[in-house]
């Protein structure tokens, strides 16, 4: 058996992981309605003015502004109503001084009119429309191109699309857009004891957990699982699994990166590419390997489900988001006092799960083999490598799941 020769600091591991994670250049065309959270691949310029015409911004009367100057409740001006213009109508015929058009919000302003008097400031009578207030030219008018002008960049390349930017793309008549393709991640489960949920457990067998936790993380952070693979723990099979998945943007192995005699990930990566690091000074999650095969980063994650998932938070999320061209993830955090003292391992950065109950953080970490260390926790605190004790009552920053 081969113990780790040396481990690297978690910060160094993260920096090397980001270095190995190249942003994806491929793009794909999708429907605008599916665009939330996607990254625009090419800047979108408008082919039209929005609005495409001068329009009423209020319900009321389209007027020649000059006709209203001096109007008040005491000095009412009366205009002749020549037309009613609803939204969706073509513009009404042009008006002249002394005339007005009843107009709904959004309807095109008739030629000749240059302002709208709000309905609240008017009274419609059989003699005409009584105007109680002056308006200036342009008042209550949405000018053609006020929102977006023809040729203008509506949404810049690299933007993460949300409701507002999708709305702007719809406003200029967009139906499909080119977005950065989601990084393709191959998940390879190793370990002869692992079987899939749904099958009965044989002696010595346990269910595959990591495949599910990794899928959840990958799909939440902009990636897509391109393959789910299970291999037995032989050098030939591991090498074959790497080659079979070499077209992925990232290959994540779980299991098989510890130091046992049958731990062959190190040899498999050496044989097909280069090892970047093997062993991180972090708890749990020490037996983690990063390599590169061709241009594809390969992560060898611990088989223990909590170690695998904690390293997914520490390494997979930053790598994946960089590959997907998404901004770094900032989990929601709360600051609360620690309910009980934690004794940490000096020299290893600790990922320590907690529950938040009645405004304090209660340790929830059981063991790296226990998925309930994660499942029954609300989030985690990070304890730096050089800290060995966090006292009860000390304020801690909980990163919520």
Positions in 172-231 near a copy of itself (CB under 8 A)? 172-175, 191-194, 197-198, 201-217, 219-220
Using an 8 Å Cβ cutoff, are 381 and 5 in contact? no
Indicate which single residue of 9, 246, 259, 275 sits in contact with a copy of itself (rule: CB under 8 A): 259
Q: How far is CA 364 from its chain centroid?
A: 28
Question: Rounded distance, CA 267 to CA 241, Å?
Answer: 13
What is the distance between the alpha carbons of residues 182 and 95, in angstroms, rounded to a whole number?
A: 55
User: Contact with a copy of itself (CB under 8 A): which of 6, 74, 127, 163?
Assistant: 163
Q: Which of 76, 171, 227, 356 binds a copy of itself (CB under 8 A)?
A: 171
Selected range binding a copy of itself among 148-156, 265-273, 341-349, 354-362, rule: CB under 8 A = 148-156
Give residue 184's Cα distance to chain centre: 16
d(CA 152, CA 2): 61
In angstroms, rounded to a whole number, what is the distance separating the alpha carbons of residues 324 and 294? 19
Q: Report the nearest approach of a copy of itself to the CB of residue 313 (Å).
A: 8
The distance of closest approach from Cβ of residue 183 to a copy of itself in the complex, given in angstroms and rounded to an integer, is 17
Q: Among residues 262, 270, 340, 397, which is the contact residue for a copy of itself, using CB under 8 A?
A: 262
Compute the distance between CA of residue 233 and CA of residue 193 in angstroms, rounded to an integer.
10
Of residues 358 through 377, those in contact with a copy of itself by CB under 8 A are 366-367, 369-372, 374-377
Among 19-27, 75-83, 139-147, 275-283, which window interacts with a copy of itself (CB under 8 A)? Answer: 139-147
Structure tokens belonging to residue 250: 């990232």
CA distance 171 to 370: 51
Confirm or reject binding of residue 312 to a copy of itself (CB under 8 A): yes
223 touches 324 (CB < 8 A): yes
Report the residue number, 114 or 121, with the smaller CB distance to a copy of itself: 121
**Omega of the bond leading into 378 within 30 degrees of 0 (cis):** no
Q: CB-wise, 169 or 251, nearer to a copy of itself?
A: 169
Q: Residues 363, 368, 374, CA angle at the centre, nearest 5°?
A: 55
Q: Quick one: which segment of 5-13, 46-54, 337-345, 381-389 binds a copy of itself (CB under 8 A)? A: 46-54
Nearer to a copy of itself, 19 or 147 (CB): 147
What pairs with residue 278 in β-bridges? 289
Task: Based on the shown chain and the rule CB under 8 A, indicate whether residue 147 belongs to the binding site for a copy of itself.
Answer: yes
CB proximity list for 131: less than 8 A, separation 6 or greater: 61, 63, 67, 68, 71, 76, 77, 78, 79, 100, 117, 121, 122
CA distances from 292 to 213, 272, 300 (A): 23, 9, 11
Q: Note whether 44 and 178 are within 8 A (CB).
A: no
Which residues ranging from 82 to 121 are in contact with a copy of itself (CB under 8 A)?
86-91, 102, 104-108, 119-120
**36 interacts with a copy of itself by CB under 8 A:** yes
> Does residue 234 touch a copy of itself according to CB under 8 A?
no
* Residue among 184 and 276 whose Cβ is closer to a copy of itself: 184
> Where in 269-288 is the site for a copy of itself (CB under 8 A)?
none
154 binds a copy of itself (CB under 8 A): yes
Residue 295 CB, shortest distance to a copy of itself, in Å, is: 27
Residue 128 lies near a copy of itself (rule: CB under 8 A)? no
Residue 393 CB, nearest distance to a copy of itself (Å)?
A: 26
Task: Candidates 11-19, 44-52, 245-253, 355-363: pick the segment binding a copy of itself (CB under 8 A).
Answer: 44-52
Total interface residues for a copy of itself by CB under 8 A: 98
Residues 307, 5 contacting (CB under 8 angstroms): no
Residue 19 C-beta: closest distance to a copy of itself, Å: 25
Least separation in angstroms between residue 128's CB and a copy of itself is 16
Question: Strands 194-195 and 206-207: what pairing?
Answer: parallel
Query: Which residue is listed with tokens 């390494």?
Result: 315
> Which of 35, 385 has the CB closer to a copy of itself?
35
Query: Least Å distance between CB 274 and a copy of itself?
Result: 25
Closest CA to 314 of 301, 324, 297, 327: 301
Beta bridge partners, 354, equal 363, 379
133 near a copy of itself (CB under 8 A): no
State the greatest distance between any 2 C-alpha atoms of the chain, in Å, as a whole number.
102
The one among 53, 157, 356, 387 contacting a copy of itself by CB under 8 A: 53
């Amino acid at each position: 058996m081969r113990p780790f020769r040396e481990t690297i600091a978690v910060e160094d591991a993260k920096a090397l992981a980001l270095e190995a994670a190249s942003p994806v250049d491929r793009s794909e065309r999708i429907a605008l309605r599916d665009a939330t959270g996607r990254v625009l691949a090419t800047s979108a310029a408008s082919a039209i003015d929005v609005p495409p015409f001068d329009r009423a911004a209020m319900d009321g009367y389209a007027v020649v502004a000059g006709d209203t100057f001096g109007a008040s409740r005491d000095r009412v001006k009366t205009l002749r109503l020549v037309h009613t213009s609803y939204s969706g109508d073509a513009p009404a015929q042009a008006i002249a001084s002394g005339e007005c058009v009843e107009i709904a919000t959004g309807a095109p302003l008739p030629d000749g009119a240059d302002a709208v008097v709000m309905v609240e400031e008017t009274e419609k009578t059989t003699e005409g429309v009584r105007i109680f207030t002056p308006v200036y030219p342009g008042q209550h008018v949405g000018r053609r191109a006020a929102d977006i002008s023809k040729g203008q960049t509506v949404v810049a390349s690299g933007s993460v699309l949300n409701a507002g930017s999708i709305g702007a793309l719809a406003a200029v008549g967009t139906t499909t857009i080119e977005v950065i393709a989601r990084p393709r991640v191959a998940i390879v489960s190793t370990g002869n004891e692992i079987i899939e949920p749904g099958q009965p457990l044989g002696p010595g067998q346990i269910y595959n957990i990591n495949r599910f936790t990794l899928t959840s993380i990958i799909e939440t952070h902009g990636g897509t699982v391109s393959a789910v693979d299970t291999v037995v723990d032989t050098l030939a099979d591991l090498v074959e699994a790497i080659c079979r998945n070499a077209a992925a943007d990232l290959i994540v192995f779980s299991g098989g990166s510890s130091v046992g005699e049958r731990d062959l990930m190190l040899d498999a990566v050496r044989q097909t590419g280069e090892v970047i690091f093997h062993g991180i000074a972090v708890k749990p999650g020490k037996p983690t390997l990063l390599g590169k095969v061709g241009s594809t980063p390969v992560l060898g994650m611990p088989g223990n489900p909590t170690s695998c998932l904690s390293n997914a938070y520490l390494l997979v999320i930053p790598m994946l988001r960089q590959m997907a061209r998404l901004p770094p993830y900032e989990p929601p955090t709360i600051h609360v006092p620690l309910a009980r003292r934690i004794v940490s391992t000096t020299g290893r950065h600790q990922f320590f799960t907690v529950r938040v109950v009645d405004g304090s953080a209660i340790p929830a970490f059981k063991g790296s083999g226990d998925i309930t260390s994660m499942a029954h926790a609300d989030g985690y605190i990070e304890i730096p490598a050089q800290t060995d004790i966090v006292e009860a009552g000390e304020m801690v920053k909980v990163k919520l799941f």
